Amino acid sequence: MIIKASQRGGGKALGLHLLKTEENEHVEVHEVRGFVSDDIVGAMKEAYAVSRGTRCKQFLFSVSLNPPETERVSVETFEAVADRIERKTGLDDQPRIIVFHEKEGRRHAHVVWSRIDVDSMTAVNMSHFKTKLRDISRETYLEHDWRMPKGLMNSEARDPRNFTLAEWQQAKRMGENARDLKAMMQECWAVSDSRAAFEQALNERGILLAKGDRRGHVAVTHQGEVLSVARYTDKKAKEVRAKLGEPDTLPSVIEAKAHMAQDMTQAFNRHADEARTKHAAETMQLQLRRREMAASHAAERQRLDATQKERWAAEIRERQERFNKGFRGLWDRMTGQHARLRKQNELESYAALRRDREQRDALVSTQLQERQKLQVQLREGRQRQADLLCELRHDRNQLRQAFAPATKKTLSEKVPPEKGPTRSAGPAVEQAAERPPASQSGREAEAALPPLRDHFERLVALREAPAGPTAQPSKQPEPERDVASRLQEFRDRRSAEPRRSNTPEHDR
């Protein structure tokens, strides 16, 4: 049944609404529990008085229970749903009121709870009550085999063929068991009233309805599993056939698997493209950072090189100024002062060169460390991309193995069987029985031969064909002659030939 609920105040207005007979043909107060007063308006005032001891403004929890219009629901069913709502929302043993309304040939119920716990003088927390009530409503539809509205179907059970890459990975991590498939099949059965509706509901969940070999109606999942509709909906085969009709017009299991394999291949290709696009976007940011880092490092090295060159030139001038010129310089050379100064300048130049190299090496080392951190991110991104594509290929190969028998059988049915006789030990004997009569021409005789699979058998058949005018017909047929004239011609040719001796040449 459809369950609607809200937290609210205004107890007196709600009580008057529940007792309104203008809109309702029949009003029946079924239960007033946990209140001192035994009427609805008094109970509402009592709930308001208790709420004054707290800060709670919405001290009531009002629920309406609406079963399907065509179903006849007993009072016990309403009470069982109300008790289930109490346990699910934490309103156990709270004061409540149950009122039945009847109008336009439909019966529904209103249940109102007081949220205030008189022992602790606090309001019961109603967290996520809409989700909890939706689950109770779905379970009630399935238990009583009522036709379920599509809005109550599990929204998480989407078609795997339409998953994004993140949704596919999440579904793979969560897994899927037979209980979930059974609940999904029962939901699809509950929301449908014909085979077309049931087939559409299954298709939205990534399941195809097909014709089984022995079990009548079956369902083929995106993993290639074949499920019995009767078994997974807990219905008898007679009930399934009455609702879905005969399965003769449905595709076979082989055809459904082939169609599902094609759809899943497209889905995997879409996931791979999505992974490549995502990796390209991430890599683009890292590559931009890499180019900016390379330009920054190059600028720092240029500044260091310029600074070192200026300092090196200044130090060279300073060392050159130590040497005296003229007679003093000549005296320094004679006394050895010039050699000592030159040696000192060489040592200072070598120290300055090592200093500059160490500064440059330190800068390069610092830049390399920074670059290596970025390279780690690039390498991790490439590895994630490779692992993701490898995982997708693994999943695709597993599905291919699951669908392989169906695909092979479908291809073998599409390819026509090869015609022509097989080779046998005596092809001449088999073909002699099918030779055309002598009155046929050579081309007609060849066309009348059975179809051959290779050139060798064709040559054998032509060799076995009748000789004479049938094999090689002349454009102008020779007139028939009698036997006497032919015999005379033969004798004349023999007499015109020279006689040969029967004695061998070595005996002559």
Give CA angle at 70 (68, 72), nearest 5°.
Answer: 85
Mean pLDDT is highest, among 117-126, 144-153, 460-469, for: 117-126
Q: Which two structure tokens, joined as six digits, stand for 154?
A: 């599990």
Question: Which range (131-135, 151-155, 463-467, 484-488) has the least confidence?
Answer: 463-467
Distance in angstroms (rounded) separating the CA atoms of residues 9 and 58? 4
Name residues whose C-beta falls within 8 Å of residue 143's C-beta, 6 or more positions apart in sequence.
none
Evaluate whether 438 touches 466 at the Cβ level (below 8 Å). Answer: yes
Element (H, E) at 28: strand 26-33
Average pLDDT over residues 375-379: 86
Evaluate whether 135 touches 187 at the Cβ level (below 8 Å). Answer: no
pLDDT digits over 448-487, tens only? 444 444 555 555 565 555 554 444 444 444 444 565 677 6
CA distances from 368 to 118, 297, 431 (A): 70, 9, 85
**pLDDT score for 417:** 47
Strand-pair partners of 227:
219
Q: Which two structure tokens, joined as six digits, stand for 264?
A: 């899943």
Please report, in angstroms and rounded to a whole number, the separation of the first and last CA atoms in the chain. Answer: 127
Q: Is the pLDDT of residue 504 over 60?
A: no
Candidate CATH numbers 3.40.50.970, 3.30.1330.90, 1.10.3720.10, 3.30.930.30; the one for domain 2-146: 3.30.930.30
Structure confidence at residue 177 as a pLDDT band (50, 70, 90): low
Average pLDDT over residues 280-287: 84
CA distances from 446 to 2, 416, 423, 442, 472 (A): 80, 25, 19, 6, 11
Q: Other CB atoms closer than 10 Å to residue 32's CB: what's the count?
A: 18
pLDDT digits over 345-360, tens only? 999 999 999 999 899 8
Q: Is the pLDDT of residue 231 over 90?
A: no
Question: Which range (52-56, 105-109, 257-261, 419-423) has the least confidence?
Answer: 419-423
Q: Is 421 left (phi over 0), alpha (psi -120 to 50) or beta?
A: beta
Evaluate whether 121 touches 127 at the Cβ level (below 8 Å). Answer: no
pTM of the model: 0.40
Question: Count of alpha carbons within 13 Å of 80, Cβ hemisphere only?
Answer: 12
**What are the helix (H) ranges across 415-449?**
427-432, 442-448
DSSP classification of residue 29: E
More confident residue, 24 or 8: 8
So where are the chain's domains? 2-146, 160-251, 264-414, 427-461
Q: Which two structure tokens, joined as six digits, stand for 39?
A: 């009427």
**Under DSSP, is residue 156 helix (H, G, I), strand (E, B) or coil?**
coil
Distance in angstroms (rounded) separating the CA atoms of residues 190 and 180? 15
Strand-pair partners of 228:
218
Element (H, E) at 1: none
Average pLDDT over residues 39-48: 89
Evaluate whether 82 touches 5 at the Cβ level (below 8 Å). Answer: no
Structure confidence at residue 97 as a pLDDT band (50, 70, 90): very high
